């Protein structure tokens, strides 16, 4: 039995909280903390009659390390699950270190203000040395390795679906199907339709910045960067059909490239409809995706945050969204001296997710693995001092948990490959 503290109460957090409460044999106590405590209270009211888990709530500003440390020490959880904004990863890690608690998140750090001079200096240096220009990367959190080791604490990074499950798929393929892996193609397909002219399926600030950035992939241990949306492929996805997909930069490429250096090429593709791309390019062209504050009528606003306020809340898309997602990895390599290729993937139904937890599948496929990662840490199955991504542990208990908690997966031999 364990106590878990969750920071955040948005769409992904709501799914993770539902799943924690379903798993009340492991999580007997839960603290939900967010800047907007009314959201936490509403979720507590909804769930507390359906679970044995004792739920409490608290108001917290996750940017305030001192206040967050105080709250963690008062509650004394076995671990903290961060499903707040990636901007807040480092302050929450600082608080976990100060309070002596294990840390878990779903997405790596990126800055809120990309024009901050101190951050920009380090970022420009990284761009020159490594060759990719995405704003998000693991270096800031990997820098905590010695601190977590010395404290005897575990930091589990990126236990969503991608990153998270996709990296577990890679570890599973390596353990059970290959002697050597040559290539990994990560394919993320959302075949859902929410009926809006334009909306994002998760936090618009994060989603739009990620999609509008230059694409990149890793080949022979080095980054290759390309203009945004310049590599397009079509793929026929089970449960969805044929979809156009585009090569993007994504954080698990960085982690897999470091932890599996023998892999010759790692790429990430995501599907988009033409309407989404047209809207995004228009917004980018008029400056609405900028993170640089501007002055409007005497008030400072950040364009992309203003846009976020105008767009539908991703958490509200559940009742409107129909269709399925299909996310997985295609691996090529060798086993017993022979060429081999497999495809490991999950198909998830938006409407079934809404029936179960009141969420669309994008939040569901991130929130379920968040709970699984937390479960493996608090039960000691994935616990060792330091900072780790999900491909650095035994994949088997995670893969078993995916089948148990709502994300069953398939393995297909000799799939159609992506050229």
- What pLDDT score was predicted for residue 406? 98
3-state secondary structure of 154: strand
Q: Is the pLDDT of residue 92 over 90?
A: yes
Structure tokens at 114: 């990309």
Question: Taking residues 268-294, what's their average pLDDT?
Answer: 87
Q: What is the pLDDT of residues 168-193, one digit of tens each?
A: 999 999 999 999 999 999 999 999 88
Residues with Cβ within 8 Å of 186's Cβ and at least 6 positions away in sequence, in order, are 162, 166, 250, 252, 253, 266, 267, 268, 269, 328, 329
Q: Which of 16, 18, 366 is nearest to 202 (CA)?
A: 366
Beta strands at 294-296 and 102-105: parallel, antiparallel or unpaired: unpaired
Instruction: Point out the least confidently predicted range of 92-106, 273-287, 348-362, 403-417.
Output: 273-287
**Residue scoring higher pLDDT (322 or 280):** 322
What percent of the chain clears pLDDT 90, i.e. is strictly above it? 78
Residue 112 forms beta bridges with which residues?
A: none
Question: Taking residues 226-236, what's their average pLDDT?
Answer: 95
Are residues 268 and 218 in contact, defined by beta-carbon separation less than 8 angstroms? no
Residues with Cβ within 8 Å of 149's Cβ and at least 6 positions away in sequence, in order, are 385, 386
Instruction: Point out the least confidently predicted range of 164-178, 192-206, 377-391.
Output: 192-206
d(CA 54, CA 4): 10
- What pLDDT score was predicted for residue 350? 96
- What pLDDT score was predicted for residue 195? 79
Q: What is the pLDDT of residues 9-50, one digit of tens each?
A: 998 999 999 999 999 999 999 999 999 999 999 999 999 999
Cα distances (angstroms) measured from residue 118 to each of 114, 136, 177, 329: 10, 15, 45, 37
- What pLDDT score was predicted for residue 1? 82
Residue 75 binned pLDDT confidence (cut-offs 50, 70, 90): very high
Q: How many residues are given for the chain?
A: 419
The correct answer on CATH 3.90.1300.10 for the domain covering 165-357 is no
d(CA 91, CA 85): 11
Q: Is the pLDDT of residue 203 over 80?
A: no
d(CA 40, CA 297): 34
């Amino acid at each position: 039995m364990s106590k878990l503290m969750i920071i955040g109460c948005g769409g992904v957090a709501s799914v993770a909280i539902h799943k924690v409460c379903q798993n009340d044999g492991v999580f007997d106590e839960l603290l939900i903390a967010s800047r907007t405590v009314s959201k936490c209270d509403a979720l507590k009211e909804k769930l507390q009659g359906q679970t044995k888990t004792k739920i409490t709530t608290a108001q917290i500003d996750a940017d305030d390390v001192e206040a967050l440390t105080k709250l963690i020490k008062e509650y004394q959880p076995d671990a903290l699950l961060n499903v707040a904004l990636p901007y807040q990863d480092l302050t929450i890690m600082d608080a976990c270190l100060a309070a002596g608690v294990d840390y878990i998140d779903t997405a790596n750090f990126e800055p809120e203000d990309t024009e901050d001079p101190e951050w920009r200096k380090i970022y420009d240096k990284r761009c020159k040395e490594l060759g990719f220009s995405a704003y998000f990367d693991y270096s800031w959190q990997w820098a905590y390795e010695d601190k977590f080791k010395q404290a005897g604490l575990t930091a589990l990074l990126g236990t969503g679906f991608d990153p998270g499950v996709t990296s577990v798929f890679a570890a599973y393929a390596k353990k059970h199907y290959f002697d050597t892996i040559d290539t990994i193609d990560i394919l993320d397909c959302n075949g859902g339709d929410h009926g809006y002219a334009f909306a994002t399926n998760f936090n618009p600030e994060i989603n739009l910045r990620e999609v509008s950035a230059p694409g990149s992939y890793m080949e022979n241990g080095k980054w290759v960067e390309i203009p945004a949306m310049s590599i397009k492929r079509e793929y026929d996805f089970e449960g969805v059909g044929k979809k156009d997909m585009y090569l993007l930069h994504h954080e698990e490429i960085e982690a897999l490239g470091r932890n599996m250096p023998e892999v010759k090429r790692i790429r990430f593709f995501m599907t988009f409809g033409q309407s989404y791309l047209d809207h995004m390019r228009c917004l980018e062209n008029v400056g609405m995706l900028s993170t640089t504050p501007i002055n409007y009528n005497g008030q400072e606003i950040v364009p992309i945050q203003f846009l976020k306020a105008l767009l539908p809340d991703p958490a509200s898309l559940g009742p409107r969204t129909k269709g399925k997602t299909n996310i997985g990895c295609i691996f090529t390599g060798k086993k017993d001296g022979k060429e081999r290729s497999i495809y490991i993937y999950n198909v998830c139904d938006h409407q079934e997710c809404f029936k179960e937890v009141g969420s669309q599948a994008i939040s569901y496929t991130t929130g379920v693995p968040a709970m699984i990662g937390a479960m493996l840490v608090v039960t000691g199955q994935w616990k060792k001092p330091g900072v780790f991504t999900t491909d650095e542990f035994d994949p088997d208990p995670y893969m078993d948990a995916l089948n148990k908690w709502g994300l069953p997966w398939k393995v297909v031999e000799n799939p159609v490959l992506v050229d």
